[in-house]
Amino acid sequence: MSVARNHPAWWAFMVHRVTGIALALFLPAHFWLLASALEGEAALENKLRWTEQPLVIAGEWLLVIALAAHLAGGLRVLALEFLPWRDWQKTLAALAAGFALAAGLAFALAR
Amino acid sequence: MEVKVWRGDATGRFESFEVPRQPSQTVLDVVTHIQRHLDPTLSYRFACRVGMCGSCAMTVNGTPRWTCRTHVDKVAAAGRLEIAPLANLPVVKDLVADMREFFDKWARAKGQLTPTRTRADEFAVVDPGSPARREADAGIECIGCGVCYAACDVVKWNRDYLGPAALNRAWTLVNDARDGGQSARLHAVAGDAGCHSCHTMMSCTEHCPKHLSPTRAIAGLKRATWSLPPEKEKS
Amino acid sequence: MSARFQARLWVAQRVTAMILAFCVVVHLATIILAVRGGLTAAEILARTQGSMAWGAFYATFVVAVAIHGGIGLRTIGIEWLGMGRAAGWVAALVSASLVVLGLRAVVAVVA
Domain boundaries, chain B: 2-97, 100-224
- pTM confidence score: 0.93
- For A72, other C-beta atoms within 10 Å of its C-beta total 26
- For A6, other C-beta atoms within 10 Å of its C-beta total 9
Range from A19-23, A99-103, C81-85 that averages highest in pLDDT: A19-23
Cβ atoms B83, B95 nearer than 8 A: yes
Per-residue confidence (pLDDT) for residue A89, from 0 to 100: 65
Domain boundaries, chain A: 8-110
**A-chain residues near B203 (CB < 8 A):** 3, 5, 7, 9-10
Instruction: Say if residue A5's pLDDT is above 80.
Output: no
The whole-angstrom separation of Cα B111 and Cα B104 is: 10
**B-chain residues near C2 (CB < 8 A):** 191, 231
pLDDT tens column, A15-71: 999 999 999 999 999 999 999 999 988 999 999 999 889 999 999 999 999 999 999
Give the CATH number of domain B100-224; options: 3.40.630.40, 3.40.50.1220, 2.30.290.10, 1.10.1060.10: 1.10.1060.10
The whole-angstrom distance between A13's CA and the closest CA on chain B is 6
The whole-angstrom separation of Cα C36 and Cα B81 is: 56
Task: Tell the CATH topology of B2-97.
Answer: Ubiquitin-like (UB roll) (3.10.20)
Cβ atoms B67, B120 nearer than 8 A: no
CATH class of this structure's domain C3-110: mainly alpha
The whole-angstrom separation of Cα B75 and Cα B82 is: 10
pLDDT tens column, B207-218: 999 999 999 999
Per-residue confidence (pLDDT) for residue A1, from 0 to 100: 42
Q: What percent of chain C has pLDDT over 90?
A: 84
Per-residue confidence (pLDDT) for residue A3, from 0 to 100: 54
Per-residue confidence (pLDDT) for residue B77, from 0 to 100: 76
Q: Pick out chain B residues at pLDDT < 50.
A: 235
Instruction: Say if residue C36's pLDDT is above 80.
Output: yes
* R_g over Cα of chain C: 17
Tell me if chain C has a CB within 8 Å of the CB of A45.
yes
The ipTM of this complex is 0.92
Average pLDDT of chain C to the nearest whole number: 94
Per-residue confidence (pLDDT) for residue C94, from 0 to 100: 97
Residue in C10, C20, C32 to test binding to A, most A beta-carbons within 10 Å: C32
Strand partners, A71: none
- Give me the residues of C, 3-32, that contact A with CB < 8 A: 14, 17-18, 20-21, 24-25, 27-28, 31-32
Q: What percent of chain B has pLDDT over 90?
A: 94
- For A85, other C-beta atoms within 10 Å of its C-beta total 16
Q: Which chains touch C (3 or more CB pairs under 8 A)?
A: A, B
Candidates B72, B101, B96; CA nearest to B163 is B101
State the architecture of A8-110 in CATH terms.
Up-down Bundle (1.20)
DSSP letter at C81?
S
Instruction: Say if residue A96's pLDDT is above 90.
Output: no
Q: Do C44 and A27 touch (CB under 8 A)?
A: no
B139-163: burial string, b at 16+ Cβ within 10 Å, e else: bbebebbbbbbbbbbbbbbbeebbb
Q: Which helix (H) or strand (E) segment is A88 a member of? A: none
Tell me if chain A has a CB within 8 Å of the CB of C83.
no
Among partner residues C6, C11, C80, which is closest to B192 by beta-carbon distance?
C6
CA B74, B75, B76, B77 torsion-angle sign: positive
Range from A68-77, B216-225, C27-36 that averages highest in pLDDT: B216-225
Q: At A110, is the pLDDT very low, low, confident or very high (cuts 50, 70, 90)?
A: confident
Cβ atoms B222, C10 nearer than 8 A: yes
